[in-house]
Each structure stands twice: as structure tokens, then as C-alpha cells.
Amino acid sequence: MNKMIGEQTIKFDSKPKIISSAAIVGPKEGEGPLGEYFDKVLPDSYYQEQTWEKAERKITQETIELLMQKANLSADKIDYLLGGDLLDQTITANFVARKFARPYFGLYGACSTMVEGMILGAMLIDGGYGQRTINFTSSHYQGSERQYRTPNEYGDKYPGYKQWTVTGSGATLLAKDGQGPVVTEATVGKVMDLGVKDPMDMGAAMAPAAADTILQHLNDTNRNPVQYDLIVTGDLGEVGSKLLRELLEDKNIDISEDQDDCGLLIYNSDQGVGAGGSGCGCSAVVTASYLLPYLNNNRFKRLLVVATGALMSPLTFLQGESIPSIAHGIVIENDTQNNAIGNQEFEQRQKANNSNGELNR
């Protein structure tokens, strides 16, 4: 049976359910407009560990444990783990996976990894290869700066177009049966590269990939932007979001009233984060803790999450290479017969949210 729609979009006949989600973040993220939504906010970025890398590992492990606790499931009930991060050889995901001793796929899509994992998890379930998958990602500001650019101790200048890597981990649990929003479609992106070489200007590097995936998704599904309650990009930030809208306007597609960005939602403008947030943890924690309740409570009917990733490495940009990028899109819809989170809880969390973090609705 052909499950493809158009050229790049997959239709999931079984509509895998997102039966649980969890997010743990660092102190800076907790101080932002979405602080009340996260499951846990850390007191400091070391989290009682000796290194930032070990702290990221601890955050991720606890996020998965919390995810399973919410679903009232033990690790032996999980068919596959799908995870990745930003560190070399995806060491966070690899080291965390050994704790749970389940079949594991290590992924690297940079900041698009969360949606990449959700797409592959939905494919496994829809294809009959398993009943439950955990999809997880993480990032850490200090660890990422040390690896990709320069350690913070060097005191490098922070240009206004640079984005702040989110410290945090997000995870979702997809299942064949259960309660929660359903995954109905996914558009797998292509690697794009328009020649951006500045490793601090990731928004500009990733915007073409986001535009290409959104345009392809709309063409494949024969829809227009207003048929989504929200099109949310992963971490284009202020610079990339502006470029995205301009690129789509050139194709006669106006998303100005229908698009928001996780990198803009997670921080306040006065937190000194440059153009906004980024990192594997950015779209993961915002989707897991903030966006999914809108579907659970009938506030949204259809959401398109387009996570973007800059596929660079220190080696390539120091050798003068440009930055190839990727964007994967996933459609998550409300399942009115399977409402997982009560309206009362959602209302309480919504009232606690700072108005600066409101969606553009």
C-alpha cells in the first residue's frame, strides 16, 4: 500500500498517538515566558555534575524516566528508543540509551532531530514493527558553545543575530493505542545549502530548508497555511523567521499570520539571547510542554511542526565550507475522543504563562 502523498509527504493510516511527553530545562529557560509549562527547571546548568556534558546526560535520562512515569509504563514495554543530540558521536543519547537497554536508533539531524525521531517512530508503528517508541533529544548551552564555537570563558562577543542554545531535554512517547494527539502526516526534508558560512548565523542557514519543506508539504497535501492552527518552526529565531516568510512570499505563500517559532517562544526579549533560541532541545521542550496541550484541549485541531537543523561541524566551517541544512515537518492533530490532559489543568498553566510567550493567535 502506497503511503506517500505527493513527492515527500507520508500519510500514517494508523495515526500513532502521542500518549506522553516530558521536558526538563535549565535555569535560563525556566526564567523565560514558558517557565510554568516545563516539568522541571534546574537550579543551575551543572545540575550537581562535574561537567556540562554529564549534566546534559542526567537531564535527558530523567526526562525519559518522567515520560514513562506519566504513561505508567516500564522500559520493557518500549519497543524502540530514537534519540540524538548535538555533541560529537551523539554521546548524550548513546550513553543514556545504555541505561534503558532497549533497541535503539541513534540519530543526528542537528536541531531537527526531535521531529526526525518522531517521524521514524511513527513509521515503525504504522508499519507494524512495534507498538511504542520513545523519541528524545537534548542540548546544553555551555557544552554546545565549547564544541561548535568557542568556550564561554574566552569571552567572545555575542552578535545580535546569534542564537542561544537551549539547555534542556524533551521527549515524546508514540504508541499504536492510547490517549493523546495523533500523528497523521510527515514531510521529510531535503538537504539545502545557499552558501551561508557564518556558524553564528544559523537562522539564515536554515531558513531555505524550512521554506522548501513547508512549500513541499502544502503542495503535497493541497492545503494552504490557514488550514493549520499553527505552523511552528523549530529554531529559526528572529533572523531566520523573517527570511522564511520572505522566501515563501516569493512563492506567493503568506504564513505571516500562521507561523511562530520555538526559538522565539522560549525566551523573553530582555534575556540577552540574541536572535532567540536554538539547539536540539529547543523545539523538543516547547512542543512537549507547551504546544501539545493546545491539541489535547481542543484549542488546536491541526499543528505543523517544522524542526530545522544546521548540519555543520567545527571542522567543515573552519575549512571554509558552507552550512547545509535540513527541515522535517510533522502534522499532529487533535483526537477529540482521546483527551489526555484535563481542561482545568491547562487553564491553570495558561493563566500562569507570561503574555510575552503567547502564540500569535
Give the CATH number of the domain where residue 73 resides: 3.40.47.40
Predicted local confidence at residue 351, as pLDDT:
44
189 and 254 belong to one structural domain: yes
Tens digits of residue pLDDT in 110-143: 999 999 999 999 999 999 999 999 999 999 888 7
Tens digits of residue pLDDT in 244-299: 999 999 999 999 999 999 999 999 988 988 888 888 999 999 999 999 988 888 88
Give the mean pLDDT of 34-43: 94
Chain position carrying cell 499570520: 257
Of the two residues 222 and 312, the one the predictor is more confident about is 222
148 and 216 belong to one structural domain: no
Give the mean pLDDT of 222-241: 94
- Residue 361 in any domain: the answer is no
Mean confidence (pLDDT) of the chain: 88
Q: 340: pLDDT confidence band, cut at 50, 70 and 90?
A: very low
Residue (of 50, 87, 47, 79) closest to 63 by Cα position: 47
- Residue 94 in any domain: the answer is yes
168 and 306 belong to one structural domain: no
Q: What percent of the chain has pLDDT over 90?
A: 69
Picking from 131, 146, 175, the residue at the C-terminal end of a domain is 175
326 and 192 belong to one structural domain: yes
Predicted local confidence at residue 163, as pLDDT:
74
53 and 160 belong to one structural domain: yes
Picking from 151, 175, 199, the residue at the C-terminal end of a domain is 175
Please check the confidence at residue 144 and state whether its pLDDT lies above 90: no
203 and 303 belong to one structural domain: yes
Rounded Cα distance between 101 and 106, Å, is 13
Name the domain count of the chain.
Answer: 2
Q: 355: pLDDT confidence band, cut at 50, 70 and 90?
A: very low
Give the mean pLDDT of 185-211: 91
Give residue 53's identity as a one-letter amino acid code: E
Number of H helices and E strands in the chain, helices first, is 12, 15
- Residue 344 in any domain: the answer is no
39 and 85 belong to one structural domain: yes
4 - beta bridge partners?
10
- Residue 88 in any domain: the answer is yes
132 and 167 belong to one structural domain: yes
Q: Which domain holds residue 226?
A: 182-336
98 and 242 belong to one structural domain: no
55 and 160 belong to one structural domain: yes
Give the mean pLDDT of 308-329: 90
Picking from 175, 194, 219, the residue at the C-terminal end of a domain is 175
Lowest-pLDDT choice from 100-109, 176-185, 313-322, 334-343 = 334-343
- Residue 350 in any domain: the answer is no
Predicted local confidence at residue 108, as pLDDT:
94
pTM: 0.90
- Residue 347 in any domain: the answer is no
- Residue 357 in any domain: the answer is no
Rounded Cα distance between 29 and 110, Å, is 20
- Residue 214 in any domain: the answer is yes
Give the mean pLDDT of 309-331: 90
Rounded Cα distance between 140 and 42, Å, is 12
